[in-house]
Structure 1
Amino acid sequence: MYVMTIDQRGSTGDVDRVPGLLKELAGLSTGGRFERSVGDEVQGVVERADEVVDIALHALRSGRWYIGIGVGEVDLPLPASPREGSGPAFVAARAAVDRAKAAAAHVPLAVVAGGRTRKASTPAGAASNAAAGTAASAAGAAASANGTARSQAAANAEAVLRLIGRLVQDRTAAQWKVVDVLRSVRHGANGTHGTQKIAAQKLGITEQSVSRAVMRSGWQEEWAARPAAEMLLALADSLMTGTTEGDT
């Protein structure tokens, strides 16, 4: 499960942009629900890794948001409001958005994996202290290895998302105009010649102009890298069992 905390940048000298963001996010997540959590911050729970990537990159586009992604367990059943949710993923999302703020000069996004402390089981019956100690040690080693893998997957997901985010942040208004048309023509396309021809006709420009915009915007690179970010987020989420809270 993924918890996303998105905080407005420079809100003290800007208008409240939360209502507009909430409206935009409603169309990007099929099952997730976002709400204002406090002040100029929104929070939501998302089940699908691809939607996390969509939401994160959409928020990065405007340059007005810090994005924190917490990966891990949430306490079930989920409450009606994300503001009332709890669990390691919520704690991780808070840590993530704080880290994103520290990276504001770069790409303000962070991914943190949250774990829950789990006690090692004691051997059944009249097990000796030595046997119990061995079992606890083995369980602790397994949890530590799992936690390391989980944290690494989260760090790798963050690295890929920041690389893609840099492409998104650096696009000019003219490049976005082309990219938006290309996405509307064929959602998720990689800029094939036929798609670019249709986009050129819609925009009233030459195919060469569209081709240059695609190349300079890094659109093809973005869509080639998105699956890697999704896979790494899903991997971090799959490694929750047996992790320890101290890994966050």
Structure 2
Amino acid sequence: MFVMTIDQKDSRNSADRVPELLDLLGTLDLDLPFERTVGDEVQGVTSSAGTVVDAALLALRQGGWSVGIGVGEVSLPLPASSREAGGDAFVAARDAVERAKKTGDRPPLAVASAGTGPGAAPETVAAVAQAEAVLILIARLVCGRSPAEWRILEHVEPHKWGAKTEAARMLGVSPQAVSNAVRRSGWQEEWAARPAAAVLLERADRAAGGNQS
């Protein structure tokens, strides 16, 4: 299972953005939906690695959020709220978000497992590190795009034949302008790499002894 803890950065000097983030993440299918846990922090639980990738990149695109992903066991049966749940994955998510806050110029995202501390199995440490590395590479693409590029990319449906032509017609711009935005932004590379990130998260979860769906 995966637990995600997402914390607002510099919340003491900015408006509360939690409701906005909850609306955004509310479109995702989770085992326990995201909810405010304490202060400016939200938490959710899912058995889907693909959903983890989607949620992480949605939050990072908004800017101003630190994303922690915990992999491992969650106590079953699940309660009605993540605030009432427990398990190693919750501890790992807390460790991950605290580390994500200290990543400097790197996208503020981290993956952790309760089994990656001193004496942890090498395969668990490696699996968690590999999942984090690929997510960071994808996050760099997402976080590095300009508003002008996003205005175009929002209309380019991934993996759809003719999507760029359709977007150009909808936006009233040239197909070349859309193609340039797609190329510069790494749009196709992002969507090609998302499944790989999900596979690596699943591997990390298995290595950490997480609940299997």
TM tier, smaller: over 0.9
Q: Distance in 1 between matches of 2:38 and 2:150?
A: 31
Where does residue 202 of structure 1 map in the other structure? 170
Q: Secondary structure at the match of 2:154?
A: helix
Q: How many residues align?
A: 208
Q: Distance in 1 between matches of 2:194 and 2:35?
A: 26
Kindly state the Cα deviation for residue 30 of structure 1 after the two structures are TM-superposed.
4.4
Kindly state the Cα deviation for residue 32 of structure 1 after the two structures are TM-superposed.
3.7
Q: Distance in 1 between matches of 2:153 and 2:28?
A: 17
Matches for 1:38-49 after TM superposition, within 5 Å: 38-49=38-49
Kindly state the Cα deviation for residue 181 of structure 1 after the two structures are TM-superposed.
0.4
Q: Distance in 1 between matches of 2:104 and 2:7?
A: 12
Q: Distance in 2 between matches of 1:203 and 1:31?
A: 37
Q: Distance in 2 between matches of 1:76 and 1:30?
A: 15
Where does residue 3 of structure 1 map in the other structure? 3
Give the alignment partner of residue 159 of structure 2, picking from 185, 189, 193: 189
Matches for 1:46-195 after TM superposition, within 5 Å: 46-115=46-115, 147-183=121-157, 188-189=158-159, 192=161, 194-195=162-163
Deviations 1:60-82 (A, max 9, x none): 10111000000000111111110
Residue 42 to residue 241, structure 1, CA distance change in 2 (3 Å): closer
Q: Distance in 2 between matches of 1:61 and 1:234?
A: 23
Q: Distance in 2 between matches of 1:64 and 1:28?
A: 20
Unmatched 5+ stretches in structure 1: 117-143, 243-248
Where does residue 136 of structure 1 map in the other structure? none
Counterpart AA for 1:207: P
Where does residue 131 of structure 1 map in the other structure? none
Kindly state the Cα deviation for residue 31 of structure 1 after the two structures are TM-superposed.
3.5
Q: Secondary structure at the match of 2:70?
A: strand
Q: Distance in 1 between matches of 2:31 and 2:85?
A: 15
| Length-normalised TM-score, structure 2 | 0.93
Q: Distance in 2 between matches of 1:175 and 1:229?
A: 23
Give the alignment partner of residue 233 of structure 1, picking from 201, 204, 207: 201
Q: Distance in 2 between matches of 1:206 and 1:31?
A: 42
Q: Distance in 2 between matches of 1:90 and 1:53?
A: 17
Percent identity of the aligned residues? 55
Kindly state the Cα deviation for residue 28 of structure 1 after the two structures are TM-superposed.
2.0
Q: Distance in 2 between matches of 1:107 and 1:115?
A: 24
Asked if 1 retains the 8 angstrom alpha-carbon contact of 2:128 and 2:204, the reply is yes
Residue 219 to residue 37, structure 1, CA distance change in 2 (3 Å): same
Deviations 1:132-176 (A, max 9, x none): xxxxxxxxxxxx78x321221111110111110010001011111
| Length-normalised TM-score, structure 1 | 0.80
Q: Secondary structure at the match of 2:111?
A: strand
Q: Secondary structure at the match of 1:67?
A: strand
Q: Distance in 1 between matches of 2:18 and 2:78?
A: 23
User: Greater Rg, structure 1 or structure 2?
Assistant: 1
Kindly state the Cα deviation for residue 238 of structure 1 after the two structures are TM-superposed.
1.4
Give the superposed CA RMSD: 1.7
